[in-house]
Amino acid sequence: MTVLFLLPLLFLAVLSTLTSAAPDSDYHEGLVLQPLPQSSLLASFNFRSNTSQESFEQRHFRYFPRALGQILQHANTKELHLRFTTGRWDAESWGSRPWNGSKEGNTGVELWAWIDAPDDDGAFAKWITLTQSLSGLFCASMNFIDSTRTTRPIASFEPAAHHSSSQLHLLHGTLPGEVVCTENLTPFLKLLPCKGKAGVSSLFDGHKLFDASWQSMAVDVRPVCPESGECMVQIEQTVDMVLDIDRSKRPRDNPIPRPIPNEQLVCDTSKPYDADDTCYPLENTAEKGWSLQEIFGRTISGVCPLTEDENPGKETVCLRVPHERGVITSPGASETRNPDGLSRCFNLEPSSPFDLIIPEQEALTQVPLDEPALSAERTIVGHGQERGGMRIIFDNPSNSSSVDFIYFETLPWFLRPYVHTLQATIIGRDGIRRSVPVSQIVKETFYRPAIDRERGTQLELALFVPAASTVTLTYDFEKAVLRYTEYPPDANRGFNVAPAVIRLLGLRDQAQSYEYYSPVYIRTTSLLLPLPTPDFSMPYNVIILTSTVIALAFGSIFNLLVRRFVAADEAAALTAQTFKGKIFGKVVALRDRIKGKGSKVE
């Protein structure tokens, strides 16, 4: 167990040391760095401040950002969680997620909040107020979270323990297509007391942050009531990112990974064909060397002086490398080694810049990575314009324990699932595929069908995966045909389907021994759904328009050509002839009638 949840434990441990003293309002920040396999580096920034409930309500903001506080009060929001995420966490290489996945969101923007309102409609109105305001605050398109993208999950999220009101409504919205970039980082930094000028937040550089392989920014506001003392409103901002060390070390003025010169190639000289012009490359097994300056482009400029500790800068920066790894720090910083032998923290000098240099070194021991308790993959299968299928694969790597979890997905209304086609297959380690009734896997289902153009589908399943097996869930869906005006400008790209959220259950017992109960979340990747798309291209529009106009023009010209208008005086001869013809015609008609009668008589 100690190994299994080491990384989250460390975060929790850091947190618990930091939160031991709880004055009226306080502020803490921290940075944890951990090298990951494949020359990656995980950097977890955490900024947290508490404000007493009373001063929050009286709008005495000290560390709590005023802009956000006013929005929350205006929208009656008691708890808020906002996530900006790009990229995907490579659980296969990097192990389990930082903060157990509780501080990350869907690709794009994810937002959920508990709103105090008397009824559902009131809550939704406040929700719209909230999204509109946050949209302005964070320069993100959160105003597009309308009723079709809003859901009310039942079991996937739980509010913090200490809410005073009982009329709380949980609303959840996602924007999977939103691109997170610097315009979202700047407002995020402005919420910090030191605004990225001092402390660990001074490392934030848009160029580096958004060059990360995976990054997630989170804002959490929740009420916290310690056993002793008054309730507080806590705001926690985290930034987690996985940087590619090679890529980040490239200078900004020459970022192109050109082929390296011949003489710098590392070749396997044991190969018989090895020559000046032939090289079988050897992959570098040594741990990459790096420094903060190289990775982030700058150093930590001192300590944020607002940190209300008896010793500001104490254990602000932590590094998870084995103790035998050599680390060079800026003068003035002191090092505290953890007794587990795998991590160390640094006490920063308040006013001098801090840098951390790790030279390249052959790796002897590795920091063990925790294996995620469950891995999930969701893909769209089938092809064609009309139908498709969703396939979700849950893999439980553990050989002993089954995993219980809540699977939650929201589907846009134009993707119409057929829930009756929901099927489950279990594949054990022996590779034999067994179809099982869905009820055997799924313990509970909450399903809220979509209404066209009003709300999306909400599907929450409580299910479990037996030990050492893989469960595949499949269901079919139908693709709706949108109205002409409902297509976005890039209709042929496909439509984003928000990732599914998985909340693992059953880990509560292990986690409750700590002060903070931290649930484990996993999110799948988002999907691209190709819909039947009309041809919006110019030639076809022109063809349609032209055909209409030609039809009109042809009609009138044809009319003009075929119809003959004869003036009254011109038609004198004609009428005479017609008259004659008429008489003749009548005679003929008469004759035929007589004949016809005769034949009838016969």
Q: CA dist 233 to 134, 225, 454, 518, 591, Å?
A: 18, 9, 34, 18, 107
What's the CA gap between 24 and 231, in Å, rounded? 10
Instruction: Print the binding letters for residues 48-77 with another protein: x by CB under 8 A, - otherwise.
Output: ------------------------------
Q: Which residues inside 568-597 make contact with another protein, applying CB under 8 A?
A: 570, 573-574, 577, 581, 588, 592, 596
Position among 128, 279, 442, 505 found at the interface with another protein (CB under 8 A): 279
**12 or 245: whose CB is closer to another protein?**
245
Position among 88, 152, 323, 416 found at the interface with another protein (CB under 8 A): 88
Q: Which residues inside 508-537 make contact with another protein, applying CB under 8 A?
A: 525-528, 530, 533, 535, 537
Q: Is 544 in the site for another protein (CB under 8 A)?
A: no
Question: Can you name the residues that pair with 36 across neighbouring β-strands?
Answer: 40
Q: 160 with 154: CB under 8 angstroms?
A: no
Sort residue 95 into left (φ over 0), alpha (ψ -120 to 50) or beta. left
**74 or 582: whose CB is closer to another protein?**
582
Position among 161, 286, 328, 381 found at the interface with another protein (CB under 8 A): 381
Q: Is 183 in the site for another protein (CB under 8 A)?
A: no
Q: Is 278 in the site for another protein (CB under 8 A)?
A: yes
Identify each DSSP E strand in 225-366 by its residue range.
232-244, 290-291, 300-301, 317-319, 328-329, 334-337, 344-347, 353-354, 356-358
Task: Supply the minimum distance, in Å, between the C-beta of residue 308 and another protein.
Answer: 37
Is residue 34 packed enough to be buried (19+ CB in 10 Å), middle (13-18) or exposed (0-12)?
buried
Position among 161, 451, 544, 566 found at the interface with another protein (CB under 8 A): 566
Task: Supply the minimum distance, in Å, between the C-beta of residue 350 and another protein.
Answer: 36
* Helix axes of 120-138 and 66-74: crossing angle, nearest 10 degrees: 160
Task: Supply the minimum distance, in Å, between the C-beta of residue 381 and another protein.
Answer: 3
Q: Is 541 in the site for another protein (CB under 8 A)?
A: no
Helix, strand, or coil (residue 296): helix
Instruction: Print the binding letters for residues 9-38 with another protein: x by CB under 8 A, - otherwise.
Output: -----------------------------x
Question: Can you name the residues that pair with 291 across neighbouring β-strands?
Answer: 357
Q: Is 213 in the site for another protein (CB under 8 A)?
A: yes
Q: Is 481 in the site for another protein (CB under 8 A)?
A: no
What's the CA gap between 311 and 330, in Å, rounded? 18
Sheet with strand 77-87: strands edge to edge: 150-151, 168-175, 108-116, 77-87, 214-224, 232-244, 40-52, 26-36, 317-319, 344-347, 334-337
Task: Supply the minimum distance, in Å, between the C-beta of residue 85 and another protein.
Answer: 9
Task: Supply the minimum distance, in Å, between the C-beta of residue 38 and another protein.
Answer: 6
Q: Is 294 in the site for another protein (CB under 8 A)?
A: no
